[in-house]
Chains A and B, each alone.
Chain A
Amino acid sequence: MKKKLCSLLLAALLTTAALGGCAGGTGESSGDNTSVESVTGESDAQPSETDPSEEDQESGPVYGGSAVVGIQQDIDSLDPHKATAAGTKEILFNIFEGLVKSDENGNLIGAVASDYTISEDGLVYTFTLRDNVKFHNGSVVTAEDVKYSLERASGLLDGTPLISTLSAITAVDILDEKTVQVTVGSANTELIYSFVAAIIPAGSGEEEGADPIGTGPFSFVSYKPQEGIVVKKNADYWQEGLPYLDEVNFKIVNSAETALMELQGGTIDIYPYLTDSQAQALKAGNTHQVISSPSNVVQALFLNNAVKPLDDVRVRQAILYAIDKDEINLFVGGGNGSLIGSAMLPTLADYYEDLNDVYGTGADVEKAKELLADAGYPDGFDLVIDIPSNYEFHMQTGEVIVEQLKAVGINATINAVEWNTWLTDIYNGRQYTATISGVTCDQTPGYMLNRFESTSAKNFINYTNAEYDEVYAQAQAALDLKEKAGYYKHLQELLVDDAATAFIQVPGNMTAISNRLAGYKFYPIYVQDMSTVYEVKQ
């Protein structure tokens, strides 16, 4: 009898685990409930139900106050040149600045430097320093500090480059006390994006890891492993009127479930990684604005171009025709994703070409069947799709794609793999036929295109096209941005012509912001800019 009681108890537990175990995983929403405005750039976010923007206009920004931001993982290093995790950089963005920095549109604006010029041949960068930019320790930023910071990051100081892209720098010269000239070994128009590397006081070096000093809108107060990092207002910040808040606490929230509870309980104010179902739950409470914005992740059904039957371009085209991206976006992303046809973030507007129409965002079953028959598979074939099991989002996408492929006769099955196995066997080992995953991009437009060059170590779809390689090389050498954009667009077209891979979407990010705050800005890169956030007068 005891055993039976036990098993009954277990059954009850299993049920309650599902019922009580707070919303987890990547969620979903009812289609008609997802009328969340996509907000980019500067705005008082569109709230879900009650609209406090009217109130904002009366009261305007208020100085003072504080905010708690929930973050997903611990910091890997407080040294800005050594930090590599995206989750660390998004926070250090508030403490450190480079000669230039990104704005919310993905463009570079002057930060420590007020202006810069690049020589015709692309080899010499001349930066003019902004007047009276102060470090958090009170001293004014000098050309010496800039020289030291760049030499440290590029490896000129001790031979080991801390930021690999900056290793192209061959010399840093001080022309006068307000002008620094940087010489690089080879021309690369995208190198300017690397000058977001933090400027730190000359000689501070290793101390940065314990007591980071930068020029950003907030200065470092304290850091506790597994708990978080606290920063306070930099009163001497060079941008007039910023920041508004006196203190910001970046608090580590380990699981998505606790994040929702903390948001509802008011112990965190801003959380940028909501799942769609959590967003639904929050919106019901009317205490938060939930805003979706494009992420910088490219989600795709990656096809191994070297494996039968996907080595046949007609088969790959058939798959692209069979996939209904609209449906995936609705079912899995709550309609918040931006559909893409090729390897470029739509937010990089100068370089992006909308190629969604080539294979259509919906499904073209007839066309797909035709192509399959042409390729010698009139009855379809078996296809195993490997998916990293920790990503609920990709797993659900897989379920939808399996169903869509079934309609054209392709018998697809999902094989859930562990993340580490995915990295070693599939990403690095290239032992797969098809896989669904996401690739995180930075703001350099060539980042995603680079991985399709035939010799690239990141080319895990084994795409080879001599023309692509040639155009890619031309794009790298091009100094004129218009010309470069032209090459990049051509590359995107080549990927689509060859049906290299089934690009799906750039999923939306869901951010929750407490109603007592406003002014949150969305960036096309992975940063949490707290300088423009302010408390709303109640």
Chain B
Amino acid sequence: MKLFAAGKKWNKYFVAGLIMTGLAVLLGVLGLFWTPYSTTAMSAAERFAAPSLRHWFGTDNFGRDIFSRVMQGMSTTILISAAVVLISGAAGVLLGALTGYFGGVLDEAVMRVTDAVNGFPSILLALVMISILGNGRQNLILSLGIVFVPSYVRIVRGEYLRLRDADYIKRARLMGVGRFRILFVHILPNILPVFGVSVMIGLNNAILAESGMSYLGIGVQAPDASLGNMLSDAQGYLQAAPWYALAPGLVIVWIVLGFSLFGEGIRRQME
């Protein structure tokens, strides 16, 4: 079960994922504090400059450095996605644990609601919520967070269902251990491998959803950069400046691929 048990070889998925994700997160975190150029300063002289040593990813229609904006976009996208996963993951664990362990009316009610939420395409549902809550970063996090709750509830509930009648849990119950101690101290650590993988998948989905929403003009507002709104801005200049669309697009692929490999690596490592 141990991730880094002595003598265990690191599998290549894990290593590749770790490197790719690490690089992305590193650049993203760096982007919070420092970028090579200002992310908003415009320059008439340097519009549509092709990638060069001076501007690694070229410049956009306002003459802004795309590499700097991609860095800012990465930190925005990763931060929002992490917040979304935090909200939906926490709610998912809580609801999944309660419903899976206790069952009954609560279980029925929660599962029917999650069925209903799952019945809609997640982007559509998030769009509806944004239109009610209003535009903006916080509302984007909140609505995506809510939309992604059911996926965690189902996984966590399944694990609790499986484990609630395990021998060691029965024994704990007989010994008079409190319910919540059983829920979160005895069972929770044992579902972490499964939950960890679903968090990785969830991060991927959140990154894609955030990019998709920003691409549609919802969420992060210009002039702040996010990978999605950069893609949407770049669309008009495919012929004039193809590098403008390539940069954020490839970075999204990079991050998503990285998290996917990382998740797969964790799963294999724990087997």
Contact residues of A with B, CB < 8 Å? 1, 3-4, 7-8, 10-12, 14-15, 17-19, 21-31, 275, 277, 280-281, 284, 327, 330-331, 389, 392, 395-396, 398-400, 402-403, 406, 413-416
C-alpha spacing A3/B48, complex, angstroms? 38
Q: Which of A4, A10, A26, A396 is the one whose CB lies under 8 Å from B264?
A: A4
Q: Would you call B249 and A15 a contact (CB within 8 A)? A: yes
List chain A residues, Cβ under 8 A from B232: 18, 25
Q: Would you call A30 and B48 a contact (CB within 8 A)? A: yes
Mark each residue of chain B from 208 to 238: 1 if its CB lies under 8 Å from any CB of chain A, else 0.
1001100101000111000010011011111
Cβ < 8 Å to A, chain B residues 220-261: 221-223, 228, 231-232, 234-240, 245-246, 248-250, 252-253, 256-257, 260
Pull 16 A–B residue pairs with CB atoms less than 8 Å apart, ordered by A: A4-B204, A14-B212, A15-B250, A15-B252, A15-B253, A18-B245, A19-B245, A25-B236, A29-B240, A30-B47, A277-B236, A277-B239, A280-B239, A395-B222, A396-B61, A400-B62
Q: Which of A7, A19, A284, A400 is the one whose CB lies under 8 Å from B256?
A: A7
- Name which of B18-26, B37-45, B78-86, B113-121 contacts chain A: B37-45
Q: Which of B41, B205, B217, B239 is the one whose CB lies under 8 Å from A389?
A: B217
- Interchain nearest-CB distance for A275 vs B (Å): 7
List chain B residues, Cβ under 8 A from A25: 232, 235-236
User: Is B135 in the interface zone, CB < 8 Å from A?
Assistant: yes
User: Is B263 in the interface zone, CB < 8 Å from A?
Assistant: yes
Q: Would you call B253 and A23 a contact (CB within 8 A)? A: no
Q: Would you call B201 and A14 a contact (CB within 8 A)? A: no
**What number of A-B contacts does a CB cutoff of 8 Å give?**
122
List chain A residues, Cβ under 8 A from B44: 31, 327, 330-331
Q: Would you call A414 and B222 a contact (CB within 8 A)? A: yes
List chain A residues, Cβ under 8 A from B250: 15
List chain B residues, Cβ under 8 A from A414: 221-223
Q: Would you call A7 and B201 a contact (CB within 8 A)? A: yes
Q: Would you call B239 and A281 a contact (CB within 8 A)? A: yes
Q: Would you call B260 and A28 a contact (CB within 8 A)? A: no
Q: Would you call B237 and A19 a contact (CB within 8 A)? A: no
- Interchain nearest-CB distance for B219 vs A (Å): 10
List chain B residues, Cβ under 8 A from A403: 40-42, 223
User: A31-B44, A403-B41 are contacts. A18–B235 as well, Cβ < 8 Å?
Assistant: yes
User: A14-B215, A23-B238, A281-B239 are contacts. A399–B231 as well, Cβ < 8 Å?
Assistant: no
Q: Would you call B252 and A277 a contact (CB within 8 A)? A: no
- Interchain nearest-CB distance for B215 vs A (Å): 7
In the complex, besides A10-B256, A15-B231, 18 extra interface pairs with C-beta distance below 8 angstroms are A8-B256, A11-B253, A11-B256, A14-B211, A15-B249, A18-B231, A18-B235, A19-B249, A23-B236, A24-B235, A30-B240, A31-B47, A331-B47, A399-B222, A399-B223, A400-B42, A402-B223, A415-B221
C-alpha spacing A327/B44, complex, angstroms? 7
